[in-house]
Amino acid sequence: MELRHLRYFIAVAEELNFSRAAERLHIAQPPLSQQIRDLEIELGVKLFERTKRRVELTTPGKVFLEKSRLALQQVDQAVIAVQKASRGEIGRLVIGFNSSATYSVLPQILHVFREQCPDVELDLQELTTRQQCDRLHYNQIDVGILYLPIESEALSTMAVLQEKLVVAIAETHPLAALPELSIKALSHEPFIMPLHHLGEGLYSQILHFFQQTNFMPNVVQEAIQLQTAISLVAGSVGIALVPASLQNLQRPGVVYKILQEPTPEIEIAVAWRQLDPSPVLQQFVNTVRGIF
């Protein structure tokens, strides 16, 4: 039995007239009649009662009509699903992202991608830059939103945001009253830094800034997540240099100050495996490219 047999049968069952059914199917009537007879022989049941004046469905024919419609509907749905999958419009995507992205690019990316591909299942994982690189290499995530620079010839990257560094300081700190700060004024202040072997991108940029300004920070605490660093700032543990987008994190007890010295551009990028053929991944990358 082939799908065309089901379509022929449904046409005759709906028209209850072989001539009209043949015209609807754009075939001659004799071949259509033969196809229906072959189908009845294969099934071993009579689907139609035929007289010179009328054609009627038998009881088995009525049951077969219902099931045939369901079968063709499922086939049509399968065709649509396959086509969507080939375009990356259905499937599953595991996205790693750093904490800074939640206050900058991530909401917009997710909003637009959800609108374009509502049937894609998203698995979101908050990870450091190093963790994202490791999981990309081991196929544990499909795409990352992380800090540059990274060192990996196996990954492609696309920068989506550049931003300056700002100082996060407790609002009760004496320096908090100043409109902007010089790095020299912070020489005796306790610093909270990113955990250097996990947050390689951000850590390296902050370290490079310190080297350029001949500044030796008094590091008293390391933090994996930027939210943690901001909470420690609020608790007067120390001050922190953070990407400017963290100002969107309105933590009570913390204020943000611009530095007088030019700071490096902190880059957030989308990263993915160069040889990953996933249509869903490509659709995501194209969506991000269209935004930025």
CA–CA–CA angle 89, 93, 98 (5° rounding): 130
In this predicted model, what pLDDT tens digit does every residue of 108-151 receive, in sequence order? 999 999 999 999 999 999 998 889 999 999 999 999 999 988 88
Q: How many CB atoms lie within 10 A of CB 108?
A: 13
pLDDT above 80: residue 214? yes
pLDDT at site 179: 93
* Angle, helices 3-15/29-43, rounded to nearest 10 degrees: 110
Same domain, 219 and 74: no
If one compares 113 and 84, the residue with the highest pLDDT of the two is 113
pLDDT at site 199: 44
Same domain, 278 and 139: yes
- Cα 90 to Cα 84: distance, rounded to the nearest angstrom: 6
Same domain, 154 and 277: yes
- Cα 186 to Cα 257: distance, rounded to the nearest angstrom: 12
| Range 191-199 average pLDDT | 74
Same domain, 137 and 10: no
Cβ within 8 Å of residue 261, ≥6 positions away: 182, 183, 213
Decide which of 57, 86, 115 is a domain's last residue. 86
pLDDT at site 244: 94
Same domain, 277 and 241: no
Same domain, 8 and 53: yes
Same domain, 119 and 176: no
- The CATH number of the domain holding residue 110 is 3.40.190.10
Q: What is the pTM of this model?
A: 0.73
Cβ within 8 Å of residue 219, ≥6 positions away: 190, 191, 192, 193
Same domain, 177 and 39: no
Question: Which single residue is written with the structure tokens 């999958």?
Answer: 85
Same domain, 140 and 152: yes
**Number of domains forming the structure of the chain:** 3
In this predicted model, what pLDDT tens digit does every residue of 49-77 receive, in sequence order? 988 888 999 999 999 999 999 999 998 88
**In which domain, by residue range, is 126 found?**
90-160+268-291
